Amino acid sequence: MSVARAKKIKMVLFDVDGVLTDGTIWLFPAPAGAEQTTQKAAAKQADAGGFAIVSQSMVEAKGFHAHDGTGMYMARLGGLKTGLITKRISEAVRLRARDMRIDHVLQGIADKRKALEEILAKEKLHRDEIAYVGDDIVDLPIMRECGLAIAVANAREPVKSMAHVVTEQAGGQGAARDAVEYILRAQNKLEKVIEEYLEKHQRTEPSTAE
């Protein structure tokens, strides 16, 4: 049944903390003169809690896995659009999303179902054409709305229980890559995408892959 669902997918949406990362949030002193462009948006949520670190002297850091970066590139080659929907607002996420050429980057989102509606309207897609990859209970509402719900290996049990697919790897360790490959494999595109990736990486676009 999950393979049948995966065949319909045209876009993959990801949570960030615990999915593209292992969930750890690091706080470091900001380099002198560093420009944190997300601070304006973060300041609006300063008193809400759980959205962002609002500071000009500290920076929130996250660790991202190279395998997931390659997975995003493979998604594009396979005709899949990608997006991030996360409650936290982070400069690190903004920069990494730009590096991975993510189509939709929504930070500071408490109601992920509403964000899904906006994406569906913009892309003119149906719910059964969307996959979402999550790890915690905040992801449950949007996962229930999507055609393919994917939980990472380190997800909380309620998330795993309602997911159609659970990745082999944990968040921050290649789980996003697992999700992309699962969909491409179901659509009989994986081998072709790998060959195209190797051709493009070796010839013209080494900087776009990990």
Residue 203 region, left (φ>0) first, then alpha (ψ -120 to 50), else beta? Answer: alpha
Instruction: For residues 11-34, give the mean pLDDT.
Output: 84
Structure confidence at residue 118 (pLDDT): 95
**The whole model's pTM is what?**
0.84
Model confidence pLDDT, tens digit, residues 31-84: 655 555 655 555 555 544 555 555 566 677 889 999 999 999 999 999 999 999
Look over the chain and give the mean of its residue pLDDT values, rounded to a whole number: 88
Domain ranges across the chain: 2-24+63-208
The architecture in CATH of the region 2-24+63-208 reads 3-Layer(aba) Sandwich (3.40)
Name the residue type at position 16.
V
CB-based burial label for 160 (10 Å; 0-12, 13-18, 19+):
middle
Measuring CA to CA, how many Å separate 14 from each of 39, 97, 143, 207? Answer: 22, 11, 10, 23
Confidence of residue 92 (pLDDT cuts 50, 70, 90): confident
Average pLDDT over residues 125-154: 97
